[in-house]
Amino acid sequence: MPNRTVYFVSDGTGITAETFGNSILAQFPGKPRHVRRPFVDTAEKAHQVVHEINQTSEAEGRRAIVFATLVNREVLQVVREHCKALVLDMFNTFIEPLEEEFQVKSNHRVGRFSDVARSQEYHDRIEAINFSLAHDDGQSAKNLESADVILVGVSRSGKTPTSLYLAMQHGIKAANYPLIPEDFERSKIPSMLEPHKRKCFGLTIDPERLSQIRNERRPGSKYADLMNCRYEVNEAEAMMKRNGISWLSSTHKSIEEIATTILRDIRPDRLIY
Amino acid sequence: MPNRTVYFVSDGTGITAETFGNSILAQFPGKPRHVRRPFVDTAEKAHQVVHEINQTSEAEGRRAIVFATLVNREVLQVVREHCKALVLDMFNTFIEPLEEEFQVKSNHRVGRFSDVARSQEYHDRIEAINFSLAHDDGQSAKNLESADVILVGVSRSGKTPTSLYLAMQHGIKAANYPLIPEDFERSKIPSMLEPHKRKCFGLTIDPERLSQIRNERRPGSKYADLMNCRYEVNEAEAMMKRNGISWLSSTHKSIEEIATTILRDIRPDRLIY
């Protein structure tokens, strides 16, 4: 799909339109140009965006695709009536059957994030981010008992981004603790982790991939050497096995997939709320 | 909506179903119970989930709501045929008009995250997270020239979570730098920031709220004192004004809203890709 533009138009942040639209577009070959237009919450702004979209459609010789999450009726009306584009109205399509099911009218409130900044859930997310930062890379053994999850694995196996993602998206207090050559020589997991094994989860990684990642940071070092990476990964997996810690490989997985798997396997309660 | 359960069922992570479903549910009063069921990618797993859903519907005396993002046709078939629930099939609803528009069949590939772990875009996100961590709270002035954005503001105005969110979701290298009482006494922005003013963005916060947040960390301190918070916030806003740095208040905004506003205002290029 060259020369085709997809717009994500929202009266909120547009994150929902973008997440959902991208999932659907992944079902098609090619990659159109993406444009996010957030905070379109007045008729005037709607007319501006419509003007931009129509110009694009004309310039490209084919109509643009518009994923719209618009709660404001006046804005939606402008987009629907004046856009020379394929407009996919993501909200109203599903709101109608839900109104019927719930036997209640929807309230047309803009944005899933409105007013959340003062909610308990939001507060917990911010607290979790602070916790995960303070407990990144084994920085602190303080309060490990209040961690929800402790990620373990060799350096550069993906622990830090996964911990931060768990905190930010799910409000999970995720500490992370590296397994280092000294631990392998001693053949024992770090003593700090001993009392918390049940909430440990391991990340492993293909040694070739690990060597490649480490070489970007310290080219030609022993740290990045393939033989050494093989040794560390083998030792780490053996150590996790001996200690009954489940693990997964981050090699072909995104942080979103890793985080979801961890939740499902060791905090299934957090998938229910 | 008490005694009603909403399921997010997916053959991928279920993040899309959850994000989208929650946006729609926010249009209705009340809060049903939420259950996410990821990685439902075989007919057998589908039958398990269907069984769970049907039991819930029966126990609650009203049918559950199912937001489904299922690419696997066999799985979708099982859910559609056997669920005693309101099934909202989020993908197929929009895939048909798109197939017609693009004049191409969709490829039924599971998950927007599949194989991303090796893509350039994913690599850039991980690099951005590492950059933002290394440049959190003014830790390092090294490579500030390669920052995409530098967030400035008083301690606890929301800089750290916002930087991490920008990195994680948008691959933005976001540094953050605190404005501290010494800067206000000197009446000058930190010298490190001087050459990078154009990419600075300020966060401010209501002094009452700031005092409350700081009191959670250091109760009864001068740091948390309301008069001191008022002084710091005033000085910080005056300093940003003098230096032509735009800012917004984080008081009633989520990190998602703050991040989207920053992108729109100082990196509009990042809303197009």
| Counted domains in chain A | 2
Task: Answer with the one of A52, A67, A102 that is the final residue of a domain.
Answer: A102
Measure the CA dihedral B150/B154/B155/B160, to 10°: -30
Buried b (16+ CB within 10 A) or exposed e, A239-267: bbeeeebebbbbbebbbbbbbbbbbbebb
Asked if residue A127 and residue A242 are part of one domain, the reply reads: yes
> Which residues 9-68 in chain B show a CB within 8 A of chain A?
12-16, 19-20, 22-29, 33-39, 63, 65
Asked if residue A214 and residue A146 are part of one domain, the reply reads: yes
Residue type for position A167:
A
Task: Check pLDDT > 90 for residue A268.
Answer: no
Query: Collapsing DSSP states into helix, strand and coil, what is residue A177?
Result: strand
Read off the tokens for A31.
Answer: 């990659």
User: What pLDDT is recorded for position B112?
Assistant: 47
Query: Collapsing DSSP states into helix, strand and coil, what is residue A19?
Result: helix
Characterize the bridge pairing of strands B5-10 and B33-37: parallel
Dist. CA A110–CA A71, nearest whole Å: 6
Asked if residue B126 and residue B85 are part of one domain, the reply reads: no
Q: Residue B127 burial by CB count (10 A; 0-12/13-18/19+): exposed, middle or buried? A: middle
Measure the CA dihedral A52/A54/A56/A57, to 10°: 160
Task: Quote the minimal CA–CA distance from B132 to chain A in Å.
Answer: 11
Dist. CA A137–CA A160, nearest whole Å: 7
Asked if residue A248 and residue A147 are part of one domain, the reply reads: yes
> Which residues 173-192 in chain A show a CB within 8 A of chain B?
none
**Would you say residue A257 lies in a domain?**
yes
User: What pLDDT is recorded for position A110?
Assistant: 59
**Would you say residue A12 lies in a domain?**
yes
User: What pLDDT is recorded for position A52?
Assistant: 97
Asked if residue A267 and residue A141 are part of one domain, the reply reads: yes
Asked if residue B210 and residue B139 are part of one domain, the reply reads: yes
Read off the tokens for A264.
Answer: 């499902």
Residue A111 annotated as binding site: no
Whether B119 has its CB under 8 Å from any CB of chain A: the answer is no
Asked if residue A256 and residue A123 are part of one domain, the reply reads: yes
Dist. CA B31–CA A120, nearest whole Å: 14
Asked if residue B141 and residue B167 are part of one domain, the reply reads: yes
User: What pLDDT is recorded for position B92?
Assistant: 87
User: What pLDDT is recorded for position A263?
Assistant: 93
Beta-carbon count within 10 A of A218 CB:
11
Task: Measure CB to CB from residue B97 to each of A88, A107, A251 and give the nearest one.
Answer: A88
Whether A103 has its CB under 8 Å from any CB of chain B: the answer is no
**Would you say residue B45 lies in a domain?**
yes
Dist. CA B39–CA B2, nearest whole Å: 28
Task: Check pLDDT > 90 for residue A266.
Answer: no
User: What pLDDT is recorded for position A120?
Assistant: 86
CB contact under 8 A, B118 and A272: no
Asked if residue A138 and residue A168 are part of one domain, the reply reads: yes
B196: Cα separation from own chain's centroid? 26
Cβ(B155)–Cβ(B183) under 8 Å?
A: no
User: What pLDDT is recorded for position A23?
Assistant: 87
ipTM score for this prediction: 0.86
Task: Measure CB to CB from residue B93 to each of A19, A35, A93 and give the nearest one.
Answer: A93
- Candidates A194, A197, A191, A134; CA nearest to A163 is A134
Task: Answer with the one of A39, A67, A102 that is the final residue of a domain.
Answer: A102
**Would you say residue B42 lies in a domain?**
yes
Q: Percentage of residues in chain A with pLDDT exceeding 70?
A: 96
H helix intervals, A103-251: 120-134, 159-170, 181-186, 207-217, 226-242
* Those residues with Cβ within 8 angstroms of residue A16's Cβ, 6 or more apart along the chain or in another chain: A10, A69, A90, A112, B19, B20, B23
Beta-carbon count within 10 A of A98 CB:
18
Task: Answer with the one of A37, A72, A102 that is the final residue of a domain.
Answer: A102
What is the rounded average pLDDT for all residues in chain A?
Answer: 92
Residue B9 annotated as binding site: no
Cβ(A271)–Cβ(A263) under 8 Å?
A: yes
- Candidates A183, A197, A194, A165; CA nearest to A235 is A183
Low-confidence ranges of chain B (pLDDT < 50): 112-113
CB contact under 8 A, B272 and A36: yes
Asked if residue B157 and residue B39 are part of one domain, the reply reads: no
**Would you say residue B230 lies in a domain?**
yes
Query: Collapsing DSSP states into helix, strand and coil, what is residue A225?
Result: coil
Domain harbouring B253, CATH code: 3.40.50
Whether A139 has its CB under 8 Å from any CB of chain B: the answer is no
Whether A110 has its CB under 8 Å from any CB of chain B: the answer is no
Read off the tokens for A211.
Answer: 């060597």
Show the domain range for A53: 5-102
User: What pLDDT is recorded for position A168?
Assistant: 94
**Would you say residue B127 lies in a domain?**
yes
Task: Check pLDDT > 90 for residue A185.
Answer: yes
User: What pLDDT is recorded for position B180?
Assistant: 95
User: What pLDDT is recorded for position A112?
Assistant: 47
**Would you say residue B14 lies in a domain?**
yes
CB contact under 8 A, A15 and B19: yes
**Would you say residue B239 lies in a domain?**
yes
- Candidates B16, B96, B125; CA nearest to A23 is B16
Residue A160 annotated as binding site: yes
Asked if residue A166 and residue A133 are part of one domain, the reply reads: yes
Asked if residue B174 and residue B72 are part of one domain, the reply reads: no
Dist. CA B182–CA B138, nearest whole Å: 14
Residues in chain A closer than 8 A to B93 (CB atoms): 93-94
Q: What is the pLDDT of residues A197-239, one digit of tens each?
A: 999 999 999 999 999 999 999 999 999 999 999 999 999 999 9
